[in-house]
């Protein structure tokens, strides 16, 4: 069974997955591990991190850290990872659990 974990932010109480931005000179995988430890308290030795080989870009002016970047930076790449946390997930008393049903893969025809 797959489960998706969300954390509740302390500043605005919104629910979100582990997220953050890379520090100068940091590779995406290193940033993901650092953010995992900072936000969930899990060290690299406690979890397995999988690179999903997926990324997209966000306009730099849409992000709060815009003033920290060079003026010529117009888009910021976002990278996605998955974590196998084993049995470290604890169900929140205020959260809900939903089971993800397996579905058949989508089929695409090329013309």
**Domains defined for the chain, CATH in brackets:** 7-84 (3.90.79.10)
**Helix, coil or strand: residue 8:** strand
Model confidence over 16-25: pLDDT tens digits? 888 888 887 8
Say yes or no to pLDDT of 63 above 80: no
C-alpha–C-alpha distance, residues 96 and 21, integer Å:
28
C-alpha–C-alpha distance, residues 93 and 105, integer Å:
34
C-alpha–C-alpha distance, residues 40 and 38, integer Å:
6
Give the pLDDT score at 27. Answer: 92
* pTM exceeds 0.75, yes or no: no
Q: Which residues contact 75 (CB under 8 A, 6 or more apart)?
A: 57, 58, 59, 60
């Amino acid at each position: 069974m797959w489960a998706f974990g969300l954390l509740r932010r302390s500043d605005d109480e919104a629910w979100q997955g582990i997220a953050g931005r890379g520090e100068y000179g940091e590779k995406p995988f290193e940033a993901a591990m650092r953010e995992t430890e900072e936000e969930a308290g899990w060290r690299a030795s406690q979890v397995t991190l999988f690179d999903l080989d997926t990324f997209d870009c966000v306009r730099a002016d849409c992000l709060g850290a815009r003033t920290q970047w060079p003026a010529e930076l117009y888009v910021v790449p976002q990278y996605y990872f998955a974590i196998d946390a084993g049995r470290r997930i604890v169900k929140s008393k205020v959260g809900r659990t939903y089971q993800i049903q397996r579905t058949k893969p989508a089929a695409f025809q090329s013309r």
